[in-house]
Amino acid sequence: MEPSLPAVFTQRHYVGGYDRTLKAHCEGAFLKLLEQNRQKKEPSYDYDLIVIGGGSGGLAASKEAAKLGKNVLVLDFVVPTPLGTRWGLGGTCVNVGCIPKKLMHQTALLGQAIKDAPTFGWQLDDKTIQHSWSSLTEAVQNYIGSLNWGYRVSLRENNVTYENAYGEFIGPHRIKTTNNKGVQKIHTAERFLIATGERPHYLNIPGDREYCITSDDLFSLPYCPGKTLVIGASYVALECAGFLAGLGLDVTVMVRSILLRGFDQDMANKIGEYMEEHGIKFLRKYVPVKIKQIKEGTPGLLKVTAHSAEYSEIIEEYNTVLLAIGRDACTRKIGLQTVGVKINEKTGKIPVNDEEQTNVPYIYAIGDVLEGKPELTPVAIQAGRLLARRLYGGADTKCDYINIPTTVFTPLEYGACGYSEEKATERFGNDNIEVYHSYFWPLEWAVPSRDNNKCYAKIICNIADKERVIGFHVLGPSAGEITQGFAAAMKCGMTKEQLDGTIGIHPVCAEIFTTLSVTKRSDGNILQSGC
């Protein structure tokens, strides 16, 4: 409640002209002081929310906040790669991640379908079927361009202000933006959301930034990569190696230690075995130490020197070297130290509480920059929307970071939800989990008679909780489509008994999950001879 004017200024004895002038002056001074106090208590900001980062999570949060009546600004700026590659609004997933990756994976699947087609009666007269890299990248980039434009239109339709500029904190509630022409502005906001994502990590060895590419460059590469060395064992490394080999290229993967760190290792090793059986070479326990260009061109020729603690040094030549050795959080150059936001100094990741709030109360973070959270586009989208609803819509729902379905689009696709076998054992103890598993053979692969007992299904159950399914894993075609449905069931507390009571759809791959009977503990036979 605002204070009233002091009684001395309202007494009737102010009747003379001098007294009336004095009264008006004092009233004005008091009201000015009152307004200054109000502004100190309730600062006026340019925006209710400024989102730093125009990726999937940032866009989702900004539009949700705007729908709830808030004034929102989105800042997005792509720093070019060492080779000069840059892209439009939408973040990693749309431009250099999930979308182009899935399209190129589909291209490789079509190549396999062409090989299978004659066994189904298709007569392919042209025996020299070839693939055009330039046609593929043009089609992919045209589609991505349409998505970039769609995001800009969507922001405008939702009354979100968009600025293609780099944002950097310069003080409490204040941020400086710089566009590609060097023009700077200052904006203020009541709250900020960091959604800057990550960029590929480099080796910091001679020749890496000069001659290597990353996934930021691959999907718009203006020439076919040719003989390619993929350095790394992440899902990005294996996915890229998989579809490049599917296009008929000579591909080698250089692995320092294990495949797919953080994923179920039983499944990861099966993926590696499948890829090796299908012509992808693996150099295990090697790390590159030098990359030298020996021939210019597109592609040129690179000499790679690698060391191993167990084996002798190797030197090999490749047309293209693709680095996929992890990603770095884009947090070190946005002025977080200026406003006191804590980060993990080693990784650049931002610790937050269970409501995505940093140690600075008015600054939040979502997506790949979060410490200890899955680096997945749908997770960032969900977290962003829920955050906006909590801040501005009176909701209280928090993001579930455990039961998250995902798929690795390797040649043998891998879908997963919940705990890996290693994490389940660590969390519940080996005696408290039961693992049911089986190989299966997709009917589509039976006629060409290929890859029997390569596809694999596994569920991990918590014995103490009525054998509730806490881990779901599948290797096979359409793994993502399968996993998405079972993830919903897991959110509802699906048990092994409920799975057994579900009638399968015959003959589909997902049917195997309604008939699992052999446990790892029993060491029974899980090989299949047919559908």
Catalytic positions, written as ranges: 506
Nearest to 408 by CA among 517, 276, 264: 264
Compute the distance between CA of residue 24 and CA of residue 312 in angstroms, rounded to an integer: 92
- What is the DSSP code (8-state) at residue 401? S
Other CB atoms closer than 10 Å to residue 524's CB: what's the count?
11
Contacts of 398 (CB under 8 A, 6+ apart): 354, 355, 386, 390
Compute the distance between CA of residue 351 and CA of residue 370 in angstroms, rounded to an integer: 6
Instruction: Look up residue 132 and give its two tokens.
Output: 């055009």
Compute the distance between CA of residue 151 and CA of residue 58 in angstroms, rounded to an integer: 12
Compute the distance between CA of residue 257 and CA of residue 501 in angstroms, rounded to an integer: 41
Location of structure tokens 């949060």: 61
**Residues 329, 346: contact at Cβ < 8 Å?**
no
Compute the distance between CA of residue 521 and CA of residue 531 in angstroms, rounded to an integer: 25
Beta bridge partners of 302: 293, 318
Identify residue 127 by its one-letter amino acid code: K
CA distances to 64, 140, 362, 451 from 390, in Å: 11, 37, 14, 49
Q: Which helix (H) or strand (E) element contains residue 267?
A: helix 265-277
- What is the DSSP code (8-state) at residue 362? T
